[in-house]
Structure 1
């Protein structure tokens, strides 16, 4: 990115600060957001982007540096005046424990302040239960901490990324209803109190993935966008004015039940743009349906099925996009998922092509982009939930 491009980006996404000392915490979050979005930021850049005085920015930078949240980069030497020194996020400032509960796998990780996975344990499964989840944490926690070279005291907090109402939709992914029903009355946070010493937050897994894409992804030039995450079931999130919008019950962006035109297979988005659909196709031909969740697999052995699945999923994601655009004028659609990179790119291209052939009268064609985090989005999303709670100004996160 050229300096001119960077200046335009900062100008277009001007985030207003205030020079009042009483709200320094707001301004510190503001500066941290800008540094995270830009990768590194000089005091001059921060002054232009926030509208704060040069002195206020100097005070903020100094405080954040003294707290260990920011690190100095190498000075940028120009032809005139003193060299400017960009500051960047300090990865070692905080470390978080994260637990992803997926319908086909569990993950326990240590994630640093820069959104990098330091260590990770992964366990495939046909379906999750409370007992299996607790056993996984008990068995892997010490290993994950040891691999990260972190003690329990050096972990700031823990977050869980999990689907809402795990006891629902069991027939759709072949899980025994009686075993999944145990989730209805199970208090996972309380159960974890006997295993971990940290405060534990819980976030919907697709919303968490959207948080990770917002915080650690490459969409700083966008303020309003929707996010589709293609997992066992389709899910997603909503970004408004640069912030996650969760809705009054925390379900905003739960795109699975969104209606699509009547067709074979069902009239909900979840009936077409979900990996469980591809699972069934593979199983019907005598293959191993869980192979698609193996990150070492490129899905090439199932290409005769993958192509039709992409076509069907892309067409219905396009329908869902038009429905979403009719409610809010989103500028972009970001598509990610537990997919091989080349499959994700094909799906993005399919959605774009379908939209180009769709009647868009009354709405505007959005940008269609690929997400950047893939399989790890939900695990990183748990850390993003913790970082956002403490270090991000989120005006739209409550469902007002």
Structure 2
């Protein structure tokens, strides 16, 4: 979902074939022209013309000649890190983050603010000041290549509790777009975590998979035919709301909030200081794993999925424990008539939602069809 703001970014003039070339290199790494011709079905001459244009416009690095033992030398083409810039704003319950991300998906600069709860005025002030600071860090020519701001935020924020009531009636996207020379995009935070894995994560993902993300609450994303499916109300994959057999919702069993309830105090928003007694974390992971396995099997029964990606705003060791608990629970569930999906860990962890926010303008301007995936 994008605002109508406009700028003079050269990304606006890219053809579908040019976007296709860039997306293939993003997914597979540096590729020679011959490999691009094979993957796209375009002629060698067409690939040569298109890649020369992308190099001249600053989106591709020409690369160095690689000489093999047989055949002609090749020149793998790579994304130019400074080819385009993206801003990603992540709104969490207690942590607001803003990142400046380059064309390869690397976070160049990052700002964050911890707060008791994210009041809309505070979020807007943080975002405006942060965007000014991050943009000022770039040379003037690079500032012109900022293609947009993406926002990852939970929908219906006022459902979090009475302290979030000020969000009712506020339009964060519209309020920020008024001040900016580039478009602003907004999607559900769990959907953006899935988008980040799709755009910046591992290359071996299948065309269809489920993404589960465990943060203060829990959410997910559904990828079908290689695309993130958002649904008519842009809330597809809202797995935190999934009813469990005991009448509770998944987020009441598999979330950092439930772990904090067991501890009796909040956990830090980063890995530093994350101290949880092993017995408490193990008991939580077992209960959460059963809930996640139920969600995985339910999605598989509906969509015939072979893979579930599990990630979250937790330390890597905690994520691994949660994934293993989910596998155990999955193995114990009846599966007559369907194949159990494989459970793998995500690759982006705490940065997934922030990177997913940055992936919103990237996908709009640089994916072949202007869509995620």
Q: Structure 2 length normalisation: TM-score?
A: 0.90
The answer on 1:107 being equivalent to 2:97 is yes
The 5 A counterparts of 1:88-237 are 88-146=78-136, 153-170=144-161, 177=162, 179-193=163-177, 195-237=179-221
- What is the match of residue 272 of structure 2? 296
Flag the 1:221–1:187 CA change in 2: closer, same or farther, 3 A: closer
Cα shift at 1:66? 2.0
Q: Deviations over 1:249-303 (max 9, x none)?
A: 11111111112211xxx521111111111111111xxxx3133x2321343x432
Query: Is the Cα contact below 8 Å between 1:119 and 1:148 reproduced in 2?
Result: no
Flag the 1:231–1:95 CA change in 2: closer, same or farther, 3 A: same
The 5 A counterparts of 1:255-294 are 255-262=239-246, 266-283=247-264, 288-291=265-268, 293-294=269-270
Query: Is the Cα contact below 8 Å between 1:95 and 1:110 reproduced in 2?
Result: yes
Flag the 1:313–1:183 CA change in 2: closer, same or farther, 3 A: same
Distance 2:126 2:205 in 1: 39
Identify the range of structure 1 (130-139 vs 316-325) with the bigger mean alpha-carbon deviation: 130-139
Flag the 1:101–1:367 CA change in 2: closer, same or farther, 3 A: same
- What is the match of residue 10 of structure 2? none
Gap runs ≥5 in structure 1: 1-22, 171-176
Flag the 1:49–1:330 CA change in 2: closer, same or farther, 3 A: same
- What is the match of residue 347 of structure 1? 322
Query: Is the Cα contact below 8 Å between 1:161 and 1:208 reproduced in 2?
Result: yes
Q: Deviations over 1:77-110 (max 9, x none)?
A: 1123321111111111111222111112100111
Identify the range of structure 1 (210-219 vs 180-189) with the bigger mean alpha-carbon deviation: 180-189
Cα shift at 1:370? 0.8
Flag the 1:395–1:328 CA change in 2: closer, same or farther, 3 A: farther
What secondary structure does 1:347 align onto? helix
Distance 2:326 2:157 in 1: 29
Distance 1:193 1:68 in 2: 27
Count, aligned residues: 360
- What is the match of residue 355 of structure 2? 380
1:369 to 340, 344, 358: 344
Cα shift at 1:191? 2.3
Flag the 1:397–1:140 CA change in 2: closer, same or farther, 3 A: closer
Distance 2:95 2:138 in 1: 21
Flag the 1:370–1:241 CA change in 2: closer, same or farther, 3 A: same
Cα shift at 1:394? 4.6
Gap runs ≥5 in structure 2: 1-12
Cα shift at 1:142? 3.8
Query: Is the Cα contact below 8 Å between 1:104 and 1:232 reproduced in 2?
Result: no
The answer on 1:312 being equivalent to 2:302 is no
Flag the 1:336–1:289 CA change in 2: closer, same or farther, 3 A: same
Larger relative contact order (C-alpha < 8 A, sep ≥ 6)? 2
Query: Is the Cα contact below 8 Å between 1:259 and 1:320 reproduced in 2?
Result: no
Cα shift at 1:378? 0.7
What secondary structure does 2:27 align onto? helix
Cα shift at 1:215? 0.5
Q: Structure 1 length normalisation: TM-score?
A: 0.84
Flag the 1:165–1:394 CA change in 2: closer, same or farther, 3 A: farther
- What is the match of residue 333 of structure 1? 308
Query: Is the Cα contact below 8 Å between 1:30 and 1:392 reproduced in 2?
Result: yes
